[in-house]
Structure 1
Amino acid sequence: MNAMPADSGKLHPVSKYDRLIAAAKALPPTPTIVVHPCDETSLRGVVDSAAAGIIRPILVGPAGKIRDTASKFGLDISGFEIVDAPHSEAAAAKGVELIQAGKGEMLMKGSLHTDELMRSVTAKVGGLRTEPRISHVFVMDVPAYAETLFVTDAAINIFPDLDAKRDIIQNAVDLYTESGFGKMPRVAILSAVETVTSKIPSTIEAAALCKMADRGQITGCVLDGPLAFDNAIDMDAARIKGIKSEVAGRAQILLVPDLEAGNMLAKNLAYFAKADSAGIVLGARVPVVLTSRADTARARMASCAVAALYAHARRQRAPTVAA
């Protein structure tokens, strides 16, 4: 998981995350498997989210190291179940095993590397794959933008093809609707320009994705693209370019052309626009919370809140059962 900046004292008088957290607190705590929470930052995020009533954690990792970390930093984990695993790789495998056994409805990254966790999640044998492509969504609270903004995919799929982009969109749309953000989200398919040209392949894929939506291959949203970033999120920019659509100027989900573009966009929003960023992996059997050591406390709790809301919706639709 690529780092987002720590909270530098910025104020969020009407935080979109606060509403998410409040909604998650109104639900029963979600059973959550936390993999290798062996540093202060990751363990504090677990303790805070549990104290808020959002998650009911099971900690997986070196038991002695977890307890030593809690003791060193004054964190009370006396009420948490701990499943011993000797190291991070074993913790990731054990965490996935516990999900398969129906012990948790969310998986949460601790202080191990993202690729260590995702190797176990995506394993062909014993992993948590489902039919759709696994993808990542940054749920961003941008103070200067009225909407909660989804950016996808900026962390998992490096150069997604057309079929992968279809799944990436559908994953984000399902998260948006099932987590209570609203219905029929507006999806902007980003490129460098807003016209289709053979010189920029992402514009051709954008046009194809819009037609796929017309044919019912993508559902539950309104798509437009290709759109440049300015006319996707700014009404005046869209008006000046003469773009008339339901999406232009007020997008809620941004599909980026590739991981590099998405990563740079998310970091620009985080550092220049002072946005907070919650990270969720979708398309697996359960939502996976990806946090960074540089995440703010509120962003960590928001990541848990979004995943908990999504897990609750999935539970209502089809309860998790043991494999």
Structure 2
Amino acid sequence: MAVFEVPGYDRFIIVTDAAMNIVPDLEQKAQIVANAVAVARSIGIDMPKVAPLAAVEVVNPAMPATVDAAALTMMQKRGQIKDCIIDGPLALDNAVSAIAAEHKRIDSEVAGRADILLVPDIEAGNMLYKSLVYFANAKVGAVIAGAKAPIVLTSRADSAESKLYSLALAVCSASK
């Protein structure tokens, strides 16, 4: 997962999974959320808000990301996923912008305030990662979480600064 500091955005944003899980199923997504929550807590986000991303905000059986997002939301509400608040499906705009969420009349604890963006697959995650770095000039640190110790995994094109931030994130994650 990657932790971004985006210029003009008021907090860190975590994107997962942009590098490891190609097309995670529901069970894998639940584990990815648990790993992301642990990383969020290691950097001081005590009760992270998780937005499972999709192209739309309503459940559509023809769009698996929306079905998984709704299931993850219910799993959190029933206590199967802990230490976070999940609401989805949410599109990227209303996950990170309160104005977009208000415009679309989305009433949610997560909409406009997401700390963790759970992408539906590696392609979406990789594009979001690179968009934040190259279009928004975001600073980033990335680790693979969920193993006995965090694993630093950087992109070949990552800057020296990003590699340093990744090492720092691994240290924070390992110390919790």
What range describes the TM-score normalised by the shorter chain of this pair? over 0.9
Number of residue equivalences: 176
| Aligned positions of 1:37-186 closer than 5 A | 137-177=1-41, 179-186=42-49
Which residue of 2 is the match for residue 196 of structure 1? 59
Secondary structure at 2:89 match in 1: strand
Matched, 1:218 2:104: no
Matched, 1:241 2:94: no
| Distance change in 2, residues 1:144/1:281 (3 Å) | same
Unaligned runs of 5+ in 2: none
Query: Which residue, out of 64, 69, 91, partners 1:206?
Result: 69
User: Could you report, residue by residue, the CA deviation over 1:16-74 in whole angstroms, capped at 9, with x for unpaired residues?
Assistant: xxxxxxxxxxxxxxxxxxxxxxxxxxxxxxxxxxxxxxxxxxxxxxxxxxxxxxxxxxx
Q: Quick one: percent identity of the two aligned structures?
A: 53
Greater C-alpha radius of gyration: 1
Q: Alignment RMSD, CA only?
A: 1.1
Q: Following the alignment from structure 2 to structure 1, what is the Cα–Cα distance between the partners of residues 71 and 165?
A: 34
Q: Following the alignment from structure 1 to structure 2, what is the Cα–Cα distance between the partners of residues 249 and 291?
A: 28
Query: Which residue, out of 266, 273, 290, partners 2:129?
Result: 266
Q: Following the alignment from structure 1 to structure 2, what is the Cα–Cα distance between the partners of residues 165 and 258?
A: 10
* TM-score scaled by length of structure 1: 0.53
Q: How far off is 1:167 after superposition?
A: 0.2
Secondary structure at 1:227 match in 2: coil
User: Could you report, residue by residue, the CA deviation over 1:232-273 in whole angstroms, capped at 9, with x for unpaired residues?
Assistant: 001110001000111101111000011111111111111111
Secondary structure at 1:269 match in 2: helix
Which residue of 2 is the match for residue 282 of structure 1? 145
Residue identity opposite 1:194 in structure 2? E
Residue identity opposite 2:2 in structure 1? F
Q: How far off is 1:202 after superposition?
A: 0.9
* Structure 1 runs (4+) greater than 6 angstroms displaced: none
* TM-score scaled by length of structure 2: 0.96
Unaligned runs of 5+ in 1: 1-136, 314-323
Q: How far off is 1:152 after superposition?
A: 0.3
